[in-house]
Amino acid sequence: MVKKDLKIALGSDHGGFRLKEKIEAYLTARGYLVADFGTNSAESVDYPVYAKKVCAEVLEKRADFGILVCGTGLGMAICANKIKGIRAVTPENTFSAKMSRAHNNANVLTLGERVLGSELAFEIIEAFLNADYEGERHQRRIDMFE
């Protein structure tokens, strides 16, 4: 069952711009509510700007999840994980994407345009968005670092 009422905040730098555009089209076509926080061209920009914008949407509950795209997904993850309350992950397979929700209650997904083909990126996104957090013992562990 696809959770199509989810609100997704989406952002990228220039290294992730093309994949970000494809993700927006993919999610919108499937009924997800997507807010795009840029960047809007392949001109060089600084990824922390976009990480901060998208993470603020998640923390302020205007979005259920954030998706950030850069060249590798790594710079975005490092930035996002500096922000209290954000749990960002960079899964490169669907199992990790699902488990990052089930056990880690990840709230931001970061992806690398230079790493993933768009079809794999879409599958990773679906695995992430359609998994449920299991809570219980996992919440105790999250509370230990939050």
Is residue 13 close enough to count as binding ligand RB5 by CB under 6 A?
yes
Is residue 70 close enough to count as binding ligand RB5 by CB under 6 A?
yes
Is residue 74 close enough to count as binding ligand RB5 by CB under 6 A?
yes
Cβ neighbours for 40, distance < 8 A, ≥ 6 positions apart = 17
Q: Are 51 and 11 in contact (CB under 8 A)?
A: yes
- E strand residue ranges, 21-123: 33-36, 65-70, 88-89, 108-112
Is residue 50 close enough to count as binding ligand RB5 by CB under 6 A?
no
- Distance in angstroms (rounded) separating the CA atoms of residues 120 and 63: 23
Strand ordering across the sheet containing 65-70: 33-36, 7-12, 65-70, 108-112, 88-89
Is residue 71 close enough to count as binding ligand RB5 by CB under 6 A?
yes
Residues marked active site are found at 70, 103
- Distance in angstroms (rounded) separating the CA atoms of residues 84 and 34: 23
Q: How far is the CB of 47 from ligand RB5 (least distance, A)?
A: 5
Q: Which is nearer to ligand RB5, 80 or 106 (CB)?
A: 80
Is residue 45 close enough to count as binding ligand RB5 by CB under 6 A?
no
Is residue 11 close enough to count as binding ligand RB5 by CB under 6 A?
no
Q: Which is nearer to ligand RB5, 47 or 128 (CB)?
A: 47
Residue ranges that bind ligand RB5, judged by CB under 6 A: 13, 15-16, 47, 70-72, 74-75
